[in-house]
């Protein structure tokens, strides 16, 4: 078996540059100067070897507020995967009849995923919110119809009662890991008969369908993104090459990100297996209700690498400056903080670095990664010194990144072993996703941190489809402006949606931080939140921002604080916290009208009167 090539270095980063090739359309293609190194055929091949060499090492732990509630060793993970994989095959799972998993992260859910790898049948982890939190189950029905699963595995049958009656399950066998409903199989049934001495996983084929991850459906119903073992393994190997000092020792991770998304389900799930480390499955969330559990999980794990999303890092940054025990646990053995899913506001990055320096007296890199469900998950990463928080880095080894002119911007397109071969049973969508040269169309724009110098990195320049023009004809870069507005009001704003298409001025719809609202002083009115003290802070912060913002493409004229959080049914937000601008604007069109009403209505925060001039 090919083993991972682990470069040894005193530095966290490889500090490799890029090779650049111009294209006929005026753009260019960038490739990492490091060649792609060999990697194993699949995740289960690595687990098989580790189970033979060190079966007693703890691979996964579950962390609740009260403590570590369960553990799974490498040896048990492999043995259980083989047993459950055999049962899934017996139940009809095959290359054409996947296993659907509707479950929160847990040890048993991990075994189901590994079992599918062992049996060489596709697994489709699907957001449990489609079943538990939906009111119409439209996305759930769509996923079942497209997927045609042989087996549907639920985490807790009692939590999916309404969905069980709503979705067209067909001939699929239902399994519940806990509290199975009538007629469903239980966890014990999945374990099957006592294992035989010869029981082992199927040999991996790097190009068979290993996993199907459904996108969040931000532009329609979710599409099933095909993930192969090659996609997942090449991504892990590439990170080992560019983060050369991070994997000199077995990594310790702690994470809450759901496994039905690529960041949690591919990068975080596979990393401890591939590099001989451990993952603490955090039952917490970056919410007021789940934050205490997040903090407790970090304190127990003392991670060597911490990968998350800006929403979680924002909450942690505040707490780290107040809770010395948390800061000590996070930073004392930490090599790197990585973030993806959205740009990290500069004040958040600054607070993280301040907390690290105050706690351990050294700089801890806070670096960006960029990719998609279709890239399993990383296409670029920061692997060099950078002081730009919005830097998404450079292509990882094996990837080619094409900058394609799109008006005044450049759309980013990617090709490499980590790119999906297409969408499950959707050939038309697959064809549209790739250009004539076989590059996947990411839909994101990018620009160089330093014009003419690719080695300084790339800045995410917004979604191509999200940007719009004001009535004056001035383009508004939504992605970049969002980060600026959050940075200007980082104590009050969790996220923003930028408005102004075919209008004179830019406005923002604000999702507030819960902790910023005065207890008993905020009132909800027709979908907006009215809090005089909070409105005054936001008005003052945005007025200060406007004074140095420049022309009309950056200045904010009005703001409205939203009373309701983003809707999962409406496609406004993913489980990992990425906000979909278009879905919010469409779903809350009445609030956009309220924002621009003249004279201003109650709740509207007016920062600039009249049209801003360029």
Q: Summarize pLDDT for 579-596 with one digit per residue, the tens.
A: 888 889 989 999 999 999
7 belongs to a structural domain? no
224-228 vs 409-415, strand pairing mode: unpaired
pLDDT score of 193: 64
Residue among 534, 563, 11 nearest 247 (CA): 11
162 belongs to a structural domain? yes
**Percent of the chain beyond pLDDT 70?**
94
310 belongs to a structural domain? yes
523-525 vs 528-530, strand pairing mode: antiparallel
Helix (H, G, I), strand (E, B) or coil at 40: coil
**Percent of the chain beyond pLDDT 90?**
73
440-450 vs 409-415, strand pairing mode: antiparallel
278-282 vs 58-64, strand pairing mode: parallel
d(CA 245, CA 222): 38
Average pLDDT value for the chain: 91
**396 and 516 part of one domain:** no
Q: What is the mean predicted confidence (pLDDT) over 79-104?
A: 97
**126 and 173 part of one domain:** yes
Q: What is the mean predicted confidence (pLDDT) over 126-153?
A: 91
Q: 190 or 444, which is more confident?
A: 190
- Gap between the terminal Cα atoms of the chain: 62
**DSSP bridge pairs for 72:** 60
Domain boundary among 448, 481, 502: 448
Kindly state the helix (H) or strand (E) to which residue 339 belongs, with its residue range.
Answer: strand 336-339
How far, in whole angstroms, is CA 176 from its chain's centroid?
A: 26
Tell me the chain's radius of gyration from C-alpha atoms.
Answer: 24
pLDDT score of 3: 44
For residue range 106-131, list pLDDT tens digits in order: 999 999 999 999 999 999 999 998 89
d(CA 180, CA 194): 22
The CATH code of the domain that includes 345 is: 3.40.50.12780
For residue 551, report the phi and psi dihedrals to the nearest 5 degrees: -80, -170
pLDDT score of 2: 38
Asked if 509 and 560 count as a contact pair (C-beta separation under 8 A), the reply is: yes
Q: What is the mean predicted confidence (pLDDT) over 142-157?
A: 96
Domain boundary among 420, 448, 476: 448
| pLDDT(136) > 50 | yes
**505 and 580 part of one domain:** yes
Count of CB atoms situated within 10 Å of the CB of 77: 24
pLDDT score of 198: 54
| pLDDT(408) > 80 | no
**262 and 114 part of one domain:** yes
| pLDDT(512) > 70 | yes
Domain extent, residue 523, equals 468-606
For residue range 537-547, list pLDDT tens digits in order: 999 999 999 99
Count of CB atoms situated within 10 Å of the CB of 324: 12
For residue range 333-376, list pLDDT tens digits in order: 999 999 997 778 899 999 999 999 999 999 999 999 999 999 99
459 belongs to a structural domain? no
pLDDT score of 518: 52
Confidence category of residue 611, pLDDT binned at 50, 70, 90: very low
For residue 508, report the phi and psi dihedrals to the nearest 5 degrees: -135, 135
**421 and 486 part of one domain:** no
**513 and 584 part of one domain:** yes
pLDDT score of 516: 53
d(CA 420, CA 379): 12
Q: 7 or 26, which is more confident?
A: 26
462 belongs to a structural domain? no
pLDDT score of 1: 34
**406 and 308 part of one domain:** yes
pLDDT score of 465: 78
| pLDDT(313) > 60 | yes
The CATH code of the domain that includes 569 is: 3.30.300
**228 and 164 part of one domain:** yes
Residue among 44, 134, 37, 28 nearest 82 (CA): 44
| pLDDT(5) > 90 | no
**253 and 325 part of one domain:** yes
260 belongs to a structural domain? yes
pLDDT score of 118: 96
For the chain, how many structural domains are there in total?
Answer: 2
118 belongs to a structural domain? yes
d(CA 98, CA 172): 10
Model pTM score: 0.86
**545 and 581 part of one domain:** yes
**411 and 502 part of one domain:** no
pLDDT score of 473: 80
pLDDT score of 388: 87
For residue range 167-214, list pLDDT tens digits in order: 778 889 999 999 999 999 999 999 986 565 557 778 889 999 999 999
pLDDT score of 167: 73
440-450 vs 453-463, strand pairing mode: antiparallel
**77 and 219 part of one domain:** yes
Least confident of 7-11, 145-149, 151-155, 435-439: 7-11
Q: What is the mean predicted confidence (pLDDT) over 32-49?
A: 96
Q: Provide the strand spans (E) within 390-485.
A: 391-395, 400-406, 409-415, 440-450, 453-463, 468-469, 475-476
pLDDT score of 479: 82
Q: What is the mean predicted confidence (pLDDT) over 149-173?
A: 91
247 belongs to a structural domain? yes
């Amino acid at each position: 078996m090919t083993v991972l090539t682990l470069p040894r270095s005193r530095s966290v980063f490889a500090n490799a540059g890029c090779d650049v090739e111009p294209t006929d359309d005026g753009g260019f293609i960038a490739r990492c100067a490091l060649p792609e190194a060999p990697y194993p055929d699949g995740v289960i091949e690595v687990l098989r070897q580790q189970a033979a060499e060190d079966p007693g090492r703890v691979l996964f732990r579950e962390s609740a507020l009260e403590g570590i509630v369960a553990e799974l060793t490498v040896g048990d993970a492999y043995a259980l995967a083989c047993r459950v994989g055999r049962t899934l095959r017996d139940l009809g799972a095959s290359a054409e009849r996947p296993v659907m998993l509707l479950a929160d992260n847990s040890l048993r859910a991990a075994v189901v995923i590994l079992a599918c790898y062992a049996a060489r049948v596709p697994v489709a982890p699907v957001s449990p919110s489609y079943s538990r939190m939906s009111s119409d189950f439209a996305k759930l029905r769509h996923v079942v119809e497209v997927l045609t699963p042989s087996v549907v595995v639920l985490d807790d049958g009692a939590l999916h009662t309404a969905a069980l009656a709503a979705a067209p399950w067909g001939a699929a066998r239902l399994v519940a890991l806990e509290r199975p409903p009538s007629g469903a199989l239980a966890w014990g049934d999945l374990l099957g008969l006592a294992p035989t001495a010869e029981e082992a996983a199927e040999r991996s084929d790097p190009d068979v369908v290993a996993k199907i991850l459904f996108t969040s459906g931000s532009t329609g119903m979710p599409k099933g993104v095909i993930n192969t073992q090659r996609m997942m393994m090449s991504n892990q190997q590439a990170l080992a090459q560019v983060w050369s000092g991070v994997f000199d020792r077995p990594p310790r991770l702690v994470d809450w990100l759901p496994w039905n998304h690529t960041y949690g389900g591919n990068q975080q799930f596979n990393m401890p297996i591939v590099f001989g480390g451990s993952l603490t499955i955090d039952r917490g969330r970056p919410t007021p209700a789940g934050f205490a559990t997040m903090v407790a999980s970090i304190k127990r794990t003392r991670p060597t690498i911490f990968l998350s999303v800006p929403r979680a890092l924002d909450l942690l940054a505040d707490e780290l400056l107040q809770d010395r025990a948390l800061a000590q646990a996070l930073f004392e053995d930490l090599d790197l903080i990585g973030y993806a899913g959205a740009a990290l506001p500069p004040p958040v990055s600054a607070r993280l670095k301040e907390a690290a320096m105050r706690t351990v007296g050294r700089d801890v890199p806070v670096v960006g990664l960029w990719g998609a469900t279709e890239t399993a998950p990383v296409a670029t990463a920061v692997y060099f010194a950078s002081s730009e928080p919005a830097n998404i880095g450079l292509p990882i080894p094996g990837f080619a990144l094409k900058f394609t002119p799109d008006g005044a911007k450049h759309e980013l397109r990617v090709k490499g072993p980590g790119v999906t071969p297409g969408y499950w049973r959707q050939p038309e969508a697959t064809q549209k996703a790739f250009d004539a040269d076989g590059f996947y169309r990411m839909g994101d724009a990018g620009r160089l941190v330093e014009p003419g110098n690719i080695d300084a990195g790339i800045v995410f320049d917004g979604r191509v489809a999200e940007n719009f023009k004001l009535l004056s004809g001035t383009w508004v870069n939504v992605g970049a402006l969002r980060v600026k507005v959050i940075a200007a009001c980082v104590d009050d704003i969790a996220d923003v949606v930028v408005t102004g298409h075919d209008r004179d001025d830019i406005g923002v719809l604000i999702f507030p931080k819960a902790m910023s609202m005065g207890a008993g002083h905020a009132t909800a009115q027709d979908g907006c939140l009215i809090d005089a003290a909070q409105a005054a802070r936001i008005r003052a912060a945005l007025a200060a921002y406007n004074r140095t913002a420049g022309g009309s493409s950056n200045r904010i004229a009005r703001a409205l604080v939203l009373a309701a959080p983003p809707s999962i049914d409406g496609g406004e937000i993913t489980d990992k916290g990425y906000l979909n601008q278009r879905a919010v604007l469409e779903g809350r069109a009445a609030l956009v009208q309220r924002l621009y009403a003249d004279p201003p209505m109650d709740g509207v925060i007016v920062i600039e009167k009249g049209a801003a001039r360029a």
